[in-house]
Chain A
């Protein structure tokens, strides 16, 4: 049956108006501009980080690639800086403030603006949304906590690889490394035992230990301190490496991950005497 025209007209008119309202209110004024900007900043940051990670581990990387990474970090840091300045409350309401601070703090760290990076990371401790929620941000909070450690590793590395060699410089670098490792271990405890972020934090710890190992040589330590430090390093590195091996095998389910052997090879640790033994089946 077809509706009579007068009846159809009245109802249709109202329905059309209703659809118009839905579309105008629902689709036009969505208020997602801050989310979109943050997303773009995240992507710019990730691209820069991937390029830098690859470049750092590949000795043939052209300088222009590193410049592109720096440019990407700069763009991400500026985007988030502007966003937080103008829409901090919107970010907090949507539980995105921690993510925003993560992108900004890490970008500043990679741009060697260490004080600013640490300052932003400290601000990030207050990034929770106004109301209690189950949507916590374990990755963001743990990374923000770890920022001072990452800065310290860079600073220790700079001391270790500079042309000057002295025991005082070694002590300074070693102090930074010790503090960094403690912070990284605390950050690890903020994430669940199988969270992939632990892999990143463990890798950062191995990087810190590597700086320690190189510093012993580059600062030209002599006995007895040389052998003491080397023995201490070997003990710590072995422990950290076993932790990393067990994590990748048992928690990430990546038995035989090549990065595990890469690290052992870089440190030149002795081959493990026992194979990996997981409490649960790997990946379980």
Chain B
């Protein structure tokens, strides 16, 4: 088995060979392409010079000898070189008559066509379209032959250290044969589109190498390779044929076709083949068809995302994760995916569209993982998450929830607020996972209460973030703020009263968090702050307090009691007294009872 360095070296050599062979093939094709050659200028219509030849040397010579008038006109031409208009007309008339007579005497010998006016375009045009070489004598190999040679060379090099892997009877050999069979009847175009084929070929080799063991069930592997390759190829061809494609677009389609194909093959063998129980009722060729639909959906989504260039955001790893998530959806809902990649494609598109605006502020890198999270959660909760129906992916609850959450995270801190932290893609995904867990537990998070601008979820995040920005010192770490937000989500998920408002229009969740933060970060108690203001302590304090309120209920009086316990604890610490988590919990229990 070659090492990584050797593999990379091989890849470079293979790429250079593919490049060179393709260039040669493309040049051959361009050189031998038929060109229509223009004819030089010449009088193409029958005229007096033709008529004169008819009488002097042609089929009318005998008639001219017998016809005095013709002889006279020919004599005049010989003497003066010209005829008067009347004579010219007479000459043409005589010619028409004699030509018809000659034609009647010898059918097929003089005029064989209807046209008597000269050379016709249809008769001549096909003879001036000329290939470089005569038919069947082109000395250069055809594009397919050139590429086939290169493909064989690459395969030989690729498996040089693994003799037997590609023998005709081995699973790998059969899978590779399936791949080639998939392209056996495809008309090889000569404008460069067929570089897709090489990309797919290398992806097949890659999978065969990496998963030789899994491909031992050769019939399934053969079908998988064939069906997926054909599906991806067809879709990429359609994308390439869309009008207005630039060279960069073409290159992107080629690259991503191969990447998605490789990803689908590898993901399929590690999910579909390795865990068939997850694909209930889907066996044999139907598995391959599902995998193909997934590949087409992912390829289509990545290359056709409206307004967002997903190709710059995806890595091979994130692509693999999305393909696996999409395969999981397909496994759970084969009827939605089979024969119709639109469902997955629309779901991915709706996720991208829904999250694109806030993601612009937070970092678009989060989009691939957001898609994965939505797909993974959808697999087992389709009915719950798509109450408006499977054809309404824009109403997908997780898409709505993620958008709501991201909009709040993306909102800038108010000017002058001490905690000015900005959130990034990783922070957003962390909260998104917490939000998804909450929404799956209780879709009521996305309901809107009277007078609120956002659904409950959005109101909570907005309120907690406002409290954090106002009450936390600038040095508090972002991770601490995120942990507090997660704790707040968790607590409010268990007690809706946290989202109720006081008489002063403040939500209790914000007030409770503020009670903790204000007591810790009060300037007068520097000694107490020294111990309590550690990030880990702050996180735990908020969790403990919210947990106590969860158990004892939420009201203005209870929040006031929390405030008092926290202030007493801080004062005691400032006086140098000891404290413990058990002691604090006991005080809270007592104060809130």
Residues of A within 8 A of B19 (CB): 25-27, 29-31
Which residue of B43, B81, B115, B135 is within 8 Å of A157 (Cβ)?
B43
A266 and B46 within 8 A (CB): yes
**Binary contact readout B16-39 vs A (1 if CB under 8 angstroms, 0 otherwise):** 101100111011101101111111
A46 and B36 within 8 A (CB): yes
Interface residues on B, range: 35 or more
**Binary contact readout B89-131 vs A (1 if CB under 8 angstroms, 0 otherwise):** 0000000000000000010011111011111111111011111
A and B contact pairs by CB, cutoff 8 A, 10 listed: A19-B258, A21-B8, A26-B18, A38-B30, A56-B41, A94-B27, A135-B140, A200-B130, A210-B43, A266-B46
Once bound together, how far apart are the Cα atoms of A258 and B116, in whole Å?
12
Q: Does A137 contact B (CB under 8 A)?
A: yes
Given A31-B23, A135-B140, residue A194 in contact with residue B81 (CB < 8 A): no
A137 and B31 within 8 A (CB): yes
B53 and A207 within 8 A (CB): no
Give chain A nearest CB distance to B160 CB in angstroms: 14
Give chain A nearest CB distance to B34 CB in angstroms: 8
B195 and A49 within 8 A (CB): no
Once bound together, how far apart are the Cα atoms of A42 and B33, in whole Å?
9
Residues of B within 8 A of A10 (CB): 4
A19 and B262 within 8 A (CB): yes
Residues of B within 8 A of A38 (CB): 30
Once bound together, how far apart are the Cα atoms of A4 and B210, in whole Å?
12
A17 and B31 within 8 A (CB): no
Secondary structure class of chain A's binding surface, majority of residues: helix
B120 and A262 within 8 A (CB): yes
Once bound together, how far apart are the Cα atoms of A193 and B127, in whole Å?
16
B56 and A19 within 8 A (CB): no
B30 and A268 within 8 A (CB): no
Q: Which of the listed residues B81, B198, B206 has the most CB atoms from chain A within 10 Å of its own CB?
A: B81
Q: Find residues 40-85 in chain A having any chain B CB closer than 8 Å to their own CB.
A: 42, 45-50, 52-54, 56-59
Give chain A nearest CB distance to B68 CB in angstroms: 19
Given A32-B26, A208-B40, residue A271 in contact with residue B59 (CB < 8 A): yes
Q: Does B423 contact A (CB under 8 A)?
A: no
Chain-A contact segment, one of B247-255, B343-351, B549-557, B579-587: B247-255
Give chain A nearest CB distance to B349 CB in angstroms: 25
B11 and A57 within 8 A (CB): no
Residues of A within 8 A of B187 (CB): none
Which A residues are closer than 8 A to B by beta carbons?
1-3, 8, 10-33, 35-36, 38-39, 42, 45-50, 52-54, 56-59, 94-96, 99, 102-103, 106, 109-110, 134-135, 137-140, 143, 150, 153-154, 157-158, 160-161, 165, 192, 194-197, 199-200, 203-204, 207-208, 210-211, 213-214, 216-223, 226-227, 230-231, 233-234, 248, 252, 256-259, 261-263, 265-271
Q: Find residues 298-319 in chain B having any chain A CB closer than 8 Å to their own CB.
A: 316
Nearest first, the 10 A-B pairs at minimum CB distance are: A220-B81, A25-B15, A26-B15, A18-B11, A268-B54, A207-B42, A94-B27, A153-B40, A57-B121, A14-B4
Q: Does B176 contact A (CB under 8 A)?
A: no
Chain-A contact segment, one of B72-80, B379-387, B454-462, B498-506: B72-80
Residues of A within 8 A of B52 (CB): 217, 230
Given A157-B42, A203-B39, A265-B116, residue A23 in contact with residue B258 (CB < 8 A): yes
A99 and B30 within 8 A (CB): yes
B38 and A110 within 8 A (CB): yes
Q: Which of the listed residues A21, A192, A194 has the most CB atoms from chain B within 10 Å of its own CB?
A: A21
Which residue of B77, B111, B118, B132 is within 8 Å of A139 (Cβ)?
B132
Residues of B within 8 A of A33 (CB): 247
B251 and A27 within 8 A (CB): yes
Q: Does B199 contact A (CB under 8 A)?
A: yes
Once bound together, how far apart are the Cα atoms of A11 and B34, in whole Å?
48
Given A30-B23, A57-B119, A135-B139, residue A258 in contact with residue B112 (CB < 8 A): yes
Once bound together, how far apart are the Cα atoms of A28 and B19, in whole Å?
9
Once bound together, how far apart are the Cα atoms of A94 and B29, in whole Å?
11
Q: Find residues 54-88 in chain B having any chain A CB closer than 8 Å to their own CB.
A: 54, 56-61, 77-82
Once bound together, how far apart are the Cα atoms of A33 and B22, in whole Å?
12
Given A8-B210, A17-B8, A94-B24, residue A42 in contact with residue B44 (CB < 8 A): no
Given A32-B192, A208-B42, residue A195 in contact with residue B37 (CB < 8 A): no
Residues of B within 8 A of A12 (CB): 210, 266
Residues of A within 8 A of B14 (CB): 22, 26
Give chain A nearest CB distance to B8 CB in angstroms: 6
Give chain B nearest CB distance to A1 CB in angstroms: 5
Q: Does B464 contact A (CB under 8 A)?
A: no
Chain A residue with Cβ nearest B201 = A22
B50 and A268 within 8 A (CB): yes
Given A42-B30, A227-B78, 15 extra CB contacts under 8 A: A3-B211, A14-B7, A19-B258, A21-B15, A58-B121, A106-B38, A135-B139, A137-B132, A199-B127, A203-B128, A207-B41, A216-B49, A233-B53, A248-B127, A265-B116
Once bound together, how far apart are the Cα atoms of A46 and B4, in whole Å?
50
B116 and A139 within 8 A (CB): no
A102 and B210 within 8 A (CB): no
Chain B residue with Cβ nearest A251 = B134
B112 and A23 within 8 A (CB): no
Once bound together, how far apart are the Cα atoms of A19 and B49, in whole Å?
71
A53 and B36 within 8 A (CB): yes
Q: Find residues 403-455 in chain B having any chain A CB closer than 8 Å to their own CB.
A: none
Chain B residue with Cβ nearest A261 = B112
Residues of B within 8 A of A220 (CB): 80-82
A234 and B57 within 8 A (CB): yes
B30 and A96 within 8 A (CB): yes
Residues of A within 8 A of B117 (CB): 59
Once bound together, how far apart are the Cα atoms of A157 and B8, in whole Å?
65
B41 and A19 within 8 A (CB): no
Which residue of A14, A19, A204, A270 is within 8 Å of B203 (Cβ)?
A19
Residues of A within 8 A of B79 (CB): 222-223
Q: Find residues 139-167 in chain B having any chain A CB closer than 8 Å to their own CB.
A: 139-140
Residues of B within 8 A of A150 (CB): 40
Residues of A within 8 A of B59 (CB): 268, 270-271
Chain A residue with Cβ nearest B112 = A261
Given A217-B52, A230-B57, residue A271 in contact with residue B106 (CB < 8 A): yes
